[in-house]
A = this chain, B = another copy of it.
Amino acid sequence: MTAELNRSSGTDQPHYFTFADPPDELTLESGEELGPVTLAYETYGELNDQKTNAVLVLHALSGDAHAAAFHQGDNKNPGWWDGMIGPGKGLDTEKYYVICSNVIGGCKGSTGPSSTNPKTGKPYGLGFPVITIGDMVNAQCHLIDYLGIEKLLTVVGGSMGGMQALQWMITYPERIRSAIPIATALKHTPQQIAFNEVGRQAIMADPNWRNGDYYDHSPPPDKGLAVARMIGHITYMSDTSMTEKFGRRLKENSDPSRFDADFEVEGYLRYRGDNFVKRFDANSYIVITKACDYFDILGKKKMHEVFPGVARAKAKALLISFKSDWLYPSYQSLEIARACKLAGVDASYCEVTSTYGHDAFLLEVEEEGNLIKYFLETVNGHEVSHQNAE
């Protein structure tokens, strides 16, 4: 336990990779150009000589590159998927070289709305271009090129991370040997869009947001961003997990005559909202939720027309969802499985029993880790026997 607690991700984390310096900007799906582009990323484990053991971990809406272990001198904040990544864990760093990169549009070291626009010398604000999941993945592919990795053993992530995994399957099937989209969807539904939109509206209703041009002003739109995060938190939990965690217990010193937070669940939401604004940028919240809402890899295609490239590339897929997840319900993962099967992709699906709701992809690391561990062994085995046969 002590050894585990001291497990550090190294002195040099996160790393920063900058590319697309003008005039060689990254062309976005909208046609707009963005450059230079910096990606913050972390790595855990060692890349083998053949460079065949690399795993790309893809984070969700509010995640970042810090997926595992502790930064040196900080033993309080493990990475967001530390239960999954490490020696002997689902993503075993004694076997695999694990990479996690922050997305573009973000605010945790990568180029986003709070970065300086080289054309103006000021922060982009909402002058930052519209970003898609495809743009995020294209930027990641530049990083993978830079790291000299031709083919990733797998791409894996939950929620928006799962969308990126699906996008890798669509755009770069030849660059992956497998993909593990978790608790995600082929496209955002109107309900998913609606929850994001209300969050954006809460931010935009905050007069401190100033149409996104708040970086030179104080305070930032913290109240609006906190409300957005509170909405998010409700959707990440389940009716059951909230009842288990809070019931109808009252806060200490609650005073019902003041119309204030009386119930523990209210105090918890306010705490999570207030904490979030310390570490996240409101414009990034807008840009990234919009990227999720635009996500629709089905579009006008029929189900069997989504993943033929994955089948040709002989990449495998593992799909995971969670029983109490009502934000990305299991039927959406079953749709992905169906699209895979109809294209001839070697895909399997598992629904994990959990009461945690959407948060389960972060919390049910034991069962989820075993599913991933055994799946990656078959991917490795398949590749080996395939090579032997040639």
Q: Tell me the A residues contacting B by CB distance below 8 Å.
A: 30, 32, 126, 129-130, 187-191, 193-195, 197-198, 200-202, 205-207, 212, 223-224, 226-227, 230-231, 233-234, 237-239, 242-243, 245-248, 256-257, 259, 261-266, 269-270, 273, 286-287, 290, 293-294, 296, 326, 329
Contacts and interface: CB of A to CB of B under 8 A. Distances in A.
A129 to B, nearest CB: 7
Contacts of A195: 234
A224 B243 contact: no
Contacts of A212: 259
Contacts of A262: 293-294
Contacts of A243: 189-191
A234 B198 contact: yes
| 6 nearest A-B residue pairs (beta carbon) | A205-B223, A190-B242, A190-B265, A190-B246, A197-B266, A198-B230
Contact of A269 (B197, B246, B329): B197
Q: How many copies of this kind of chain does the complex include?
A: 2
B266 A194 contact: yes
A223 B204 CA distance: 9
A230 B228 CA distance: 12
Interface residues of chain A: helix, strand, loop or mixed (majority): helix
Contact of A129 (B202, B257, B265, B287): B257
Contacts of A224: 205
Nearest to A223: B205
A52 to B, nearest CB: 39
Contact of A190 (B226, B231, B263): B263
**Which of the listed residues A190, A245, A248 has the most CB atoms from chain B within 10 Å of its own CB?**
A190
B202 A239 contact: no
A195 to B, nearest CB: 6
Contacts of A206: 205
A234 B191 contact: yes
A326 B290 CA distance: 25
A323 to B, nearest CB: 15
Contact of A130 (B256, B261, B294): B256
Contacts of A247: 190
Contacts of A270: 201
A344 to B, nearest CB: 27
16 contacts: A30-B256, A32-B257, A126-B259, A130-B256, A130-B259, A190-B246, A194-B233, A194-B242, A195-B234, A198-B234, A205-B224, A205-B226, A207-B207, A231-B231, A259-B286, A262-B293
A265 B193 contact: yes
Name the residue in A126, A197, A226, A273 with the highest tally of chain B Cβ atoms < 10 Å from its Cβ: A197
A277 to B, nearest CB: 11
A267 B200 CA distance: 13
Given A202-B202, A205-B202, A326-B326, A265 B227 contact: no
Given A259-B126, A265-B194, A230 B201 contact: yes
A186 B333 CA distance: 34
Given A197-B266, A227-B227, A257-B130, A242 B287 contact: no
B188 A248 contact: yes
A32 B256 CA distance: 12
Contacts of A242: 189-191, 194
Contacts of A194: 230, 233-234, 242, 265-266, 269
B227 A202 contact: yes
A239 B191 contact: yes
Nearest to A234: B194
A309 to B, nearest CB: 23
Contacts of A293: 262-263
